[in-house]
Structures are given as C-alpha cells and as structure tokens.
Structure 1
C-alpha cells in the first residue's frame, strides 16, 4: 500500500488510496526533492512506479536515491512545464493502469492557470485506470494551494511542508484513504538523513478508535486456554495478527516469541506497526521460551514494543501485566530506518584480544547505540596485580560473545562488554576469566565514554600474543604457616 514515508505521521494521514490524486506543496524546491526521494524509497518493491519531472529535478532525486530501497523498477519521464500542463494527453503513453505516478514540478507551473481543471481531467483518467498520482510541487505559490483547498472534491488529499513557527512544519488541509477522512493538522517536522519525520511523539488521540478494549493475540500466548472474553480475538498466525493490527488504533496486540523464531522478523513487524498505526497501539511480546537476551529486549523496545513479558511468568501474571498497560501511550522516539537501528543493536563480528587500533575503531562503532539511549555497554580499565602483566592476566581468558573485546595499552587492560548492564559486569568477568579476576586485578574503572580511545596509543595496529599457559606467571605465592603437630583432647560422649 502506498505511503507518505514520514515517520510518526500516522496511517490516517499517510496512507493513500490505490487510485486517485494527492498533492503535497513544499515551500522550497529542496524540500520537494527530499520528500519526493523519501516517497520513492518508501514504495514497496513490487510497485509499478513512474517519476515525472524535469531533467534537473530528476537528477537531484536519483543522485541520492538508496539503491536497495523503493520499487524494483522506476520508469522515468522527463517533462518541462508545458508538458506538465498537457500531462493528461500523454498518459496513454505511460501504461497507466495500476501504476503509481509521482510528479515533481515547480509550483509556478500552475501559476495563472486553472489548476482545478488540470486536476479534474487527470483524476477522471486515474480513477478509470485504477492508477494513483501524487503531485509534489516546490516553491511558494499560495494561490495554487488556496484554489486546491476550495476544490477538495477533485483532490483526495492536500498538505503543505512549510517553514514557520521556528522550524519545518507539515500542514495537512484534508486527507482521505481507506481508513476514512481527516481534517486539518499542523505538525512540527525534523530533517533526518533519511528525510522528514515528525519531530516529537504525537499526543494521545482524543478519539481512541473505539477499540481500546480489544486484545489481539497469537494463540500460543493463551497456553491452550480459550479467549478470555468477548474483547479477545485469537489469531492462528503472525500474518493474521499483523493484518488485524494494521487496522487497529489503540488495541492491545500480543505476539508470541517462541524458540527458533527469527528476532529480526518480529522486530521489523513491530517497527512497521508502530510506524503505521501510531503511539496509542499497545504492542506486547510474551516470551514463550528462554530466548531473549538483554540486547534482544532493547531491540524490541526500540522498535515499538510497549511491554515484554519474560519467560516463566504465569498465565495470571501475564494477564495482570497486560491489564497494567491499558490506557498507556508509547512515548519513545521511533527511528525511521529499521536496518540502521538493527545494525546499532547488533555487535560487530569481532571478539577476544585485538590490537589497540582495532579496539578503538570497533568500540566507537558499537557505541552509537549508547549515544541514542537504545542500549548500554561497559568500557572497563583493569590494572593487573603486582608481578603480573596485562598479557599474563589474559592468558586464561575465554571470549564467547561477538562484541566482547580487549586490548593492552601500557600496563592496563581495556575491556569492552557489548550489551551489558552495570549489574551484570561481575558475572561477565566470571565467564571471561578462568582464574579469579578479583585476584588478577587490583583495580577496575568503568569509563562513561569513549573519549580516551582517541589517545595516540590507540593507533597501534599490532596484535599482542598472550604467553603460553604453562609459561604464564602465576599469582604471587602466599606465605603459608609451617605445619606442626598440636595436641587434641577428645571428650567422652555424654560426659558432664
């Protein structure tokens, strides 16, 4: 289904009919180009899409277009302003039926002309051919917008991207799609690398959609029990659940996380629903097998999960937790780019003792999730006990997880633990060091940031080699008292 790929806008204001005519008026040509590229990248791969623009505008859009996003094929049609005005005559040459047509043009193309007649003629053809057209105009031309506002019966949706009120704003005049019709909205936008997004989480809607009592659940989460009331609907598959959730507004949607299930598939579904349906929807994940680690939970929460019910919670406890989130509105920021989010919350394929240069580069890359508040890592500085070098302390270490790495700088050991809470540091050290780390090191410092990794010592690309275990220096032997016999007196049992 075609969408305006503006994160946080909500389905009622971003979905489009499969046929009809929509208009987005942008104050600047640059904003029109960015929005056009964003819309193209947001189209499903199977979409039959065409871009109609002049040579300069088309080059600006295609020059920064992400090759792995958007439709598999995009037909290009170059048109000057006069050709734009006669577009209805050229539609038969474009193979219109079932196609999504994106028109990018300067707003002054329609200056002084009758935009109403142009839209009316095009919409008639589009409806007859089951095609969709989105016009994105660039440049200020208030007269065109005012005439389109009065001509709302000939346009399915009209919105503006303009500069005002201290930033970039999205002014929706009217919008209609399969979910109904919505009126005026004035929303603040923020410009991200991927395009425009709603600047802040929208306020809880006054209209809850009438489905706030509805619970949609995958069958496994009920543990064989029937639906608990008339408000519960049980779905047999993930696809059925996602389909029903795609039409909900503030219902509770409960997913089952079972052993062997791909985490990224569930995370993508959550991200899509949160992006599509907004913040009033309550998305719950129930862990049916002990599969989720800390970093997995953080991924699901960052993708829109309202609540994660851990494995081992009883059915009654599960129902209590679900009841506790009724009326809750999701308040976190939803990243627009799911793949970039997934990369931030996944470790690099590196572990063990590495060169200082590789250590600094890897840690700075994996630290992005910390900067965004999506995950917690630990960066430690460990100072060995007297008589031990850092390499000798590392002679009995086992690194099992990708992202857990160490390096030697001077007389200390730097250790990075990926996706590790502060309360989990000691347990992680117990797993890495086969000998007691509390005896191997005399001090342990937790660094709050990665600024220290910019020191010249971290330019070294030499990988150190720990000594052989049988040659490694052991901990200094403790003096033991000399053994000597001592007298022991035994008392007779029951003696007074």
Structure 2
C-alpha cells in the first residue's frame, strides 16, 4: 500500500489504507502535487493519474520516481476537461469511472484525481455526497487507494463542506506553505490501527522532505510559568528622543548590536530594535532569527522604523523570521509605550524556518527586470510567485488589453522599470506586467511610476490578478495555448530603452569631438554700465 516517504513522519500519519478515499487540499497546485508524489517511492503497483494539468506531475522537481514508473509502464495518465458545466452532467463522473474500469491493472492500484475546487463549489451537500459515493464504491470493489487532490483559492471555504463527508472519506489533509515550511494539517486520518485527528506537522523541504522539530515543540506545557524578565523592555536609544523619561523597567542600549549581545540570556522580555537608512536589514533579520530560535516563543521582538525604508518584502522577511511587531513610522514616546504594552503576554506562534539561508535566498536572489520574451516571462513569474509564497509576499499580474490598431511595441517603449522583480511582456493583443512585492491596492500608483502616459491612451481594459494561485494558473494556461505559436520578440527593439538607468562609469571624454556645436564656447562681451537716477517729484 502507498505511504508518504517522509523522513520523521509518524507511521500512522504516513499510512494510507486500501479500499479507502483520502483528500489532499491546498491553495496552490505545486505544493500538494509534490507532496502527493511522495507516495510513489515505495510503490510497486500501478498508478492512475487524472488531471486537467497532467504536466504538473511529470515536470515537478519530485517527479523522478513517477518518470521511472512511467518507463516501466505502470503509470497511466489521463487528462480531462474541468469545465464546471461539463462536470455538472450526471454522467461525467460515471464516465471517468467506466474508463478506469477498462484497465485490468486497476485492481490494488493508486488513483490520484486532481481538480480545481471550482468544480464542486456550487454542488449541494447531497450532490457532493453522491459523487464521493461513486468513488467510494469503486475503491471498495477494486481495493483501490483513491486520493483526491483539490486545489484553488476557494479551498479554504470548501474545507468545512468536505469535512461533512467523513463517512465517505478516510482522511482529510490540508497543505499550506508558511516561512519556507510545508504545513500539514490533518483534520483526521484513518490508518490500520485507528484514527488520528487534529494533528499538525511541519516539513522542511529544502533537502528532501523531512519533519522538522523546532524549539517550540517542547514548550507546550510551560504557559503558566512566570519568567523573571517578562516585564523588562530593552530598546535602542534612537527609538525615543534624547532625554525621554522612561519607566524604571525600561533599559536603553547604544545600538542594535549592543541590544543583540544583551539579549542572549533573555526569555520573555521585550526588545525594540531600530531601523535607519544605514541599517543592514539582512544582518538585523539574522539577529532576530537567532534570538527567536535561542530564546523561544515568549520573547517579544519589535522593529521601530526611525528614518529608514522598510519595504513590503522586508516586512514579510522580518515577520517570517520571528518578529512580533513592526512599527512603520516614528512614534511619540507615549504611543510607543502603549504599543509595547499591547503585546505583553503574547507568544510567537508562527512556524519558524529550519534555516535562515533558505529564506534569504528568496529575498536576496538576483531578479530580472524589464522586458522578457513571453515564454521566459511566464516561467519567471511562476518562479517569483513561488518565492513570494515562501515569504508571504504579495505580487500582482496586470493584464492590459491593447486598443485596436495599436502595435505592442509602442506602449512597451514607454515602460520604464527600475525595480528588480518587475517584468513585462506581450503576446497576442495583450501586455502582461508582473509587479513583485506589490499589493493590489498599490497597483495604480506603481503603474503611474512605470508608464509615462495615461494607460487609456493605449489600452482599452485592465485586469489585475493578485492571488498567487490564479497568477500561476494563468501563466501555465498561456504557455500551453501559445506553445506552438510564433510570438514576436521585442528584446532588441527595447534594448536601448535604458536611458533612465544611471551609469556609474565615468564618461570617456578623450574621444569626444569638441568641434561639434554643443562644445562651442560662446564668449560674450561685458555689458555696458548705464547710470540711472530717479527724477525728483518736486522739480
């Protein structure tokens, strides 16, 4: 029988029964598809895969065992139409089941059925029950292990509806990504010895799939213990104006490094670091992460922005690495004291990544910017979107529809991209712009900085995709649609569109032709002085 091949995972949580139906739920497709492929390393029987996007399984980074089984003739992939209208037809699921029954290899096999949550969003409880009953009967008759892989942004709302069908489903597992860790939330899970419910497991997926056990695993029973430093507040002197009178339990240090050194033995105190324009944010993030791992979840870490710039991606980096609170503007001392008071007694409950290097690679990696050929653009957007998910960073894909008889090259020449991670391309009669680390409500301001003229001068409509699931889905759809099409590449035409970029190299004046008019020196004579006197009114 299939089992999750995950290092350190409880055998009961890894076990899947035969003659059973399990459900894996996730907002993003790649997360749960790669997890499902962990069922294959020890598989000796046949595997049936049904999906609208069958390429997701074979192109995954975890597809080595799948491809090996496919070469042995043990993998049977099927692609089906996921149109919700088609799916509502009563014979749709019966047709799929009849197709599977035609294979003599079906008995004792593993069946993976991947579809978008929109296919069942409008189903009533009775309709969904009837559909699941068909597959439950199939699993019992042929001694199958059926795994439903349901993805999409609606899955959060559908989770409770799916839980109503516990008589037909032997396990429900919700998969999410947080702080570069894969979080497995078992609603319930039937195995060969009983049932496990309400379990949460964190997986480190950097070097293979393995269960990570952080500092917080041993801290569930000490919630009532009083720490001696719980009321202490340590802050950097630049956080408050010089001469500010502070309560007696407030302590001041000279800078962030001094505060970091002082905090090594603290357990529940509040530490307030400052960010100025000269602060090394990556170094400060490392210090916060080290303190959180070493001191535990009771320590309160606060970032006060004094005169620096904390961008959206930096905010998410700090919050991912253990910071409780970020104060984005310099506060009056009384307000600062109130904000610090508001987090007293808080515990840091978010999962921490196994390694800071794995997180920093998403924020510090060199990113492309400007125009990219469309296929390269689509791959890059999916890559950026996956990185953004690991940090909790926002990203938007803006789709601009060209006006009739407007050639794409003309508006493309007016895009002046300065930020790394902001890329654009074109295909068909549309221009696509991906804005990395940008929230949906900031799109209008961002476009005003990127585009010289009014959008309405060249485009008849604009749509914005702000959910990472839909961004990735749209990129994959467009890649499939234009796989064999000839797409114009404007890279060379836009190569010279870099006049706004500052060139740090000094100009080579030795080769300049000084005989040209712009270098001609014009010498004008001094003006002649004319004394002026005011006429006396009395004369």
TM-score bucket of the superposed structures, by smaller chain: 0.5 to 0.7
1:351–1:373 distance in 2 versus 1, CA, 3 Å: closer
> Contact 1:384–1:390 at 8 Å: present in 2 too?
yes
Secondary structure in 2 aligned to 1:286?
A: strand
Instruction: Pick the aligned partner of 1:277 from 295, 311, 318.
Output: 295
1:367–1:468 distance in 2 versus 1, CA, 3 Å: closer
1:276–1:461 distance in 2 versus 1, CA, 3 Å: farther
Tell me the distance in 2 between the aligned counterparts of 1:458 and 1:351: 23
Secondary structure in 2 aligned to 1:367?
A: helix
| 2:243 aligned with 1:225 | yes
Number of aligned residue pairs: 293
Tell me the distance in 1 between the aligned counterparts of 2:201 and 2:314: 32
> Contact 1:383–1:411 at 8 Å: present in 2 too?
yes
Instruction: Pick the aligned partner of 2:421 from 403, 418, 436.
Output: 403
1:226–1:468 distance in 2 versus 1, CA, 3 Å: closer
Instruction: Pick the aligned partner of 2:381 from 350, 363, 384.
Output: 363
2:367 alignment counterpart: 349
CA shift, 1:446, in A, is: 2.0
Secondary structure in 2 aligned to 1:256?
A: strand
1:309 alignment counterpart: 327
Secondary structure in 2 aligned to 1:198?
A: coil
Secondary structure in 1 aligned to 2:297?
A: coil
1:451 alignment counterpart: 473
Secondary structure in 2 aligned to 1:372?
A: helix
1:235–1:415 distance in 2 versus 1, CA, 3 Å: same
1:238–1:322 distance in 2 versus 1, CA, 3 Å: same
Instruction: Pick the aligned partner of 2:213 from 172, 182, 198.
Output: 198
Tell me the distance in 2 between the aligned counterparts of 1:432 and 1:379: 14
Tell me the distance in 1 between the aligned counterparts of 2:202 and 2:375: 39
1:442–1:197 distance in 2 versus 1, CA, 3 Å: same
Secondary structure in 1 aligned to 2:273?
A: strand
Tell me the distance in 2 between the aligned counterparts of 1:226 and 1:198: 43
1:279–1:463 distance in 2 versus 1, CA, 3 Å: farther
| 2:450 aligned with 1:437 | no
1:408–1:315 distance in 2 versus 1, CA, 3 Å: same
Secondary structure in 2 aligned to 1:406?
A: strand
Instruction: Pick the aligned partner of 1:385 from 399, 403, 406.
Output: 403
Tell me the distance in 1 between the aligned counterparts of 2:488 and 2:429: 17
Structure 1 residues 458-467 or 313-322, which shifts more?
Answer: 458-467
CA shift, 1:374, in A, is: 1.1
CA shift, 1:225, in A, is: 3.0
Tell me the distance in 1 between the aligned counterparts of 2:407 and 2:355: 45
> Contact 1:347–1:418 at 8 Å: present in 2 too?
no
1:191–1:243 distance in 2 versus 1, CA, 3 Å: same
Secondary structure in 1 aligned to 2:416?
A: coil
> Contact 2:409–2:490 at 8 Å: present in 1 too?
no
Tell me the distance in 2 between the aligned counterparts of 1:377 and 1:270: 25
Tell me the distance in 2 between the aligned counterparts of 1:427 and 1:205: 46
Instruction: Pick the aligned partner of 1:415 from 391, 414, 433.
Output: 433
Tell me the distance in 2 between the aligned counterparts of 1:211 and 1:248: 7
| 2:303 aligned with 1:288 | no
| 2:275 aligned with 1:257 | yes
Q: How does the TM-score come out when normalised to structure 2? A: 0.49
CA shift, 1:191, in A, is: 5.3
Instruction: Pick the aligned partner of 1:298 from 309, 316, 335.
Output: 316
1:77 alignment counterpart: none
CA shift, 1:264, in A, is: 0.2
| 2:348 aligned with 1:326 | no
Tell me the distance in 1 between the aligned counterparts of 2:257 and 2:413: 50
> Contact 1:347–1:402 at 8 Å: present in 2 too?
no
Tell me the distance in 1 between the aligned counterparts of 2:296 and 2:277: 29
CA shift, 1:338, in A, is: 1.0
1:8 alignment counterpart: none
Structure 1 residues 366-375 or 320-329, which shifts more?
Answer: 366-375
1:347–1:403 distance in 2 versus 1, CA, 3 Å: farther
CA RMSD of aligned residues (A): 3.4
Structure 1 residues 450-459 or 378-387, which shifts more?
Answer: 450-459
> Contact 1:391–1:408 at 8 Å: present in 2 too?
no
Q: How does the TM-score come out when normalised to structure 1? A: 0.53
CA shift, 1:340, in A, is: 1.8
> Contact 1:377–1:416 at 8 Å: present in 2 too?
yes
1:439–1:245 distance in 2 versus 1, CA, 3 Å: same
Tell me the distance in 2 between the aligned counterparts of 1:379 and 1:406: 9
CA shift, 1:367, in A, is: 1.0
1:379–1:468 distance in 2 versus 1, CA, 3 Å: closer
Tell me the distance in 2 between the aligned counterparts of 1:268 and 1:211: 23
